[in-house]
Amino acid sequence: MSVPSPHLFANVLARVHAACQALAAEGVLPAGLDLARVVVEPTREASHGDMATNAAMVLAKEAKSKPKDIAEAIAAKLRDDDLIASVDVAGPGFINLTLKTAAWADALRAVLRDCERYGHSAVGAAEKVNVEYVSANPTGPMHVGHCRGAVFGDALASLLVTAGYDVNREYYINDAGAQVDVLARSAFLRYREALGQDIGAIPEGLYPGDYLVPIGQALAAEFGERLLNQSEAEWLPAVRTKAIAGMMEMIRSDLAALNITHEVFFSERSLISGETDLVAATIDFLRAKGDVYLGRLPPPKGKPVDDYEDREQTLFRATAYGDDVDRPLLKSDGGYTYFASDIAYHKTKFDRGFRNMVDVWGSDHGGYIKRVQAAIKAVTDGQGVLDVKIVQLVKLLRNGEPVKMSKRSGDFVTLREVVDEVGSDAVRFMMLFRKNDAVLDFDLAKVIEQSKDNPVFYVQYGHARGHSIFRNAREMLTDLPLESGARIAYLRDAAVERLDDPAELGLMRQLALYPRMIESAALAHEPHRIAFYLYDLASDFHALWTRGRDMPHLRFIITNDAVLTKARLALVQSVVSVLASGLAVLGVTAPDEMR
């Protein structure tokens, strides 16, 4: 696999670094300066050139000279650079750089050269990252509330892969708590039903959903009437195992509808059912460090706890690691708290080689972050790092009206219903077209609209429009290949230096931003930035396309100039490639034509 060449911004940053180091060698700047805070970024205003660096301002204090003086010194070095057309010092010490137009042509060639690898990065340095997401309780089908976290986690994982990390996608199966016993009892009822018994109404406290009917039938087929004479203690484990397996199968199939897969499904029960009790081992580990003690907790504030009992309990010293209070590890019945299992679980992640962990949780778990991060610190001696991404609620609407009830399940809308109605692409893109920590309105009617108001359509249409241009261009360039790999190869030697219209150069600038966007979005764990970037790119592309209406000389296909046409097709191809690449990161398809 070829390593993509450093992108334009990284390239220019390296030149700025080199200039600083040269000045250090000459004694103009002190030796050993920390260049970490030096950045090269696109300018917001065209009058400031193409790129700007803050080098002089950042280094001024340490170098003990005026920013302007340093800026002039760096600028003088950069003026000799073969990539740079002009250098200006402005404002408090910005160094504004204008690149030679050849640099943009080179950047465009890089897109065609790297093909689908364009934008891929090595910042991740193949470091292992564990991304845990979904982890819905195995007690029923997935509902809409789950799908934002599912899509977010999946896109984040793809983004990290694209940025060069070694990513493991993981699902934690909560198969050890009381809720799976409830599931087992609910399934047992359906088992009796399958054997012809009249079960009447589903009792309060059990899961009423029809989705358990097939589980009951499967149990009847496997066990016959054997379980009927057994006590609950006897039949429950087998029924539970069967029911959980059935629920997980259903969940996997729901996820498959969104093209989401996990490499690892980690069972909570496996922590305690193996040869060694890993939860006990983890508690012992913490106890040996002095982080476990017997003590009392003040009663909880907020809503009163009716069965509150002040008692001495086994506590983890979470406050020593940044949490607000110490947290219990054992319940009054002697069983492990969910938190205790969770510590052991995250310890296994670390023990499996993941120093970097990302968990994607729903907004109602926000209060749980500190204690798990505290636990990870304790259990990994500060080596492991957990970033928790909270995804906010989705408000499901239809034409602006809230959608509450479900046709199928009665009390919640299933993920499957939503995907069936609007398609995976619309769900995925819209879930990512917002910061994860902001609540999201999802309107079933609007997301399938084929208009500019619908970002999903707008971006996909950009890709399709590119292909439409290729199809039309074949009337003139009859040997233009339709297959994308061959077409890219065909366009690779196009005379892209002929692209000099400001609108074209603007699009080239936008394309050059993509690799930098991938890196920063990956480092920030923010896949939504890619969605917004693609929207901007599509917008620029559509704008250029429509300019051809008033200005025929700007059309992509110029019938009497094959060389220019080919150059413009190279630009179109680059846009198409980047749109396809970005959509792939988001898990959204890039269609060749809109139906």
Partner RNA sequence: GCACCCGUAGCUCAGCUGGAUAGAGCGUUGCCCUCCGAAGGCAAAGGUCAUAGGUUCGACUCCUAUCGGGUGCGCCA
Return the DSSP state at 34: -
Binds RNA by CB under 7 A, chosen from 230, 253, 273, 332: 332
Angle at 40 between CA 98 and CA 569, to 5 degrees: 60
The answer to whether 223 contacts RNA (rule: CB under 7 A) is: no
Verify binding: residue 450, RNA, rule CB under 7 A. yes
Query: Interface residues for RNA in 462-491 (CB under 7 A)?
Result: 464, 469, 472
CB burial class (10 A; 0-12, 13-18, 19+) of residue 50? Answer: buried
Q: Does 309 bind RNA (CB under 7 A)?
A: yes
Instruction: Give the range of 18-26, 123-131, 448-456, 481-489 binding RNA by CB under 7 A.
Output: 448-456
Contacts of RNA in 239-278 (CB under 7 A): 268
Which positions from 340 to 369 touch RNA by CB under 7 A, shown as an x/- string? -----------------------xxxxxxx
Nearest to 63 by CA among 99, 39, 34, 100: 34
Confirm or reject binding of residue 310 to RNA (CB under 7 A).
yes
Which residues ranging from 33 to 92 are in contact with RNA (CB under 7 A)? 39, 41-45, 47-48, 52, 54, 57-58, 60-61, 67, 90-92
Q: Which of 169, 164, 215 lies closest to 194 in space, CA to CA?
A: 215
Contacts of 313 (CB under 8 A, 6+ apart): 294, 295, 296, 297, 328, 330, 332
CB of 231 to RNA, least distance (A): 22
Contact letters for RNA, residues 508-547 (x by CB under 7 A): --------x---x--xxxx-xx--x------x--xx-xx-
**Is 549 among the residues that bind RNA (CB under 7 A)?**
yes
Residue with smaller CB distance to RNA, 150 or 440: 440
List, in order, residues 6 or more apart from 194 with CB less than 8 Å away.
213, 216, 217, 219, 220
User: Binding of RNA at residue 440 (CB under 7 A)?
Assistant: yes
Scanning 173-181, 230-238, 258-266, 345-353 for contacts with RNA by CB under 7 A, the matching segment is 173-181
Contact 131, 156 (CB under 8 A): yes
120 class by beta-carbon count within 10 Å (0-12 exposed, 13-18 middle, 19+ buried): buried
Report which secondary-structure segment, H or E, holds 90.
strand 84-90
What is the number of residues in the chain? 595
Quick check: 563 binds RNA (CB under 7 A)? no
Minimum CB–partner distance for residue 293 and RNA (Å) = 14
| Least distance (Å) between residue 223 CB and RNA | 26
Q: Which of 10, 339, 448, 505 binds RNA (CB under 7 A)?
A: 339
CA distances, 115 to each of 108, 163, 367 (Å): 11, 16, 44
Q: Residue 403 and residue 151: Cα distance in Å, rounded?
A: 20
Residue of 146, 327, 509, 566 that binds RNA (CB under 7 A): 327
